Amino acid sequence: MTTATPTPTPGHYAIDVPRSEITFTTKHLFGLGTVRGSFQLRGGNVSLAQPLTATRVDAVADAGSFDTGNKNRDRQVLSKALLDTENYPDIVFSAAGAELDQAGAWALQGRLTAHGVDAPVTFTVTKAEVVGDEIAVEATATVDRYAHGVTKLKGMAARHLQLTASVRARRTDGSQA
């Protein structure tokens, strides 16, 4: 993870849900407007390995926490027409490895399951730091909603979402970083 702070100690870290968030931006109205919103995390774990290429990440977001600040839009996105959160309450991310990309940034190649459909996604680490026995990571990804079977309202809602995951995780295996 590219950072000026010390490399985190390998081990198991639990995501600190209240201090972590997933935000997104996307377009609507045929690309004329920008929509910003968020999802809440339910939980997750980071297993940092040595080398970092063997690192594993598992996280679960609450699909029903989708929030753009517009109740009518949020209700429509949560409905059967789009996310169908009654039948698919979780959005799950799993990565079993990290790699340096061509720009020298760490990338987590993983799988995202949303709306009951699993598809590949890459989160690129844009910021990472070690603070005592905690790690703080920010990573970004582009998600194609069509890859998850969420295809209604073409034109009214953009195909791609730009996600930013800001995650804090605390070491859980008894050692201090």
- The sign one gets for the Cα dihedral 96, 37, 64, 73 is negative
Give Cα separations from 169 to 115, 130, 133, 143 (angstroms).
26, 10, 9, 23
Residue 3 lies in a domain: no
Structure tokens at 161: 């979402």
pLDDT at 40: 96
User: What total number of domains does the chain contain?
Assistant: 1
Residue 145 lies in a domain: yes
- 10: which strand partners? none
Write the CB contacts of 9 (distance below 8 Å, at least 6 apart in sequence): 48, 171, 175, 176, 177
Residue 73 lies in a domain: yes
Residue 5 lies in a domain: no
pLDDT at 100: 87
Count of CB atoms situated within 10 Å of the CB of 71: 9
pLDDT at 29: 65
Count of CB atoms situated within 10 Å of the CB of 164: 16
10-residue mean pLDDT series, the chain (177 residues): 59 97 86 88 94 93 95 92 94 93 88 95 94 94 93 78 97 67
pLDDT at 5: 46
Distance CA 42, CA 62 (A): 6
| β-strand pairing of 56-67 with 11-15 | unpaired
Q: Give all strands (DSSP E) within 75-116, no chain letters.
A: 90-100, 106-114
Residue 56 lies in a domain: yes
Range of the domain at 158: 11-171
Domain of 68, CATH number, reads: 2.40.128.110
Residue 1 lies in a domain: no
Asked whether the whole model's pTM tops 0.85, one would answer yes
| β-strand pairing of 90-100 with 33-48 | unpaired
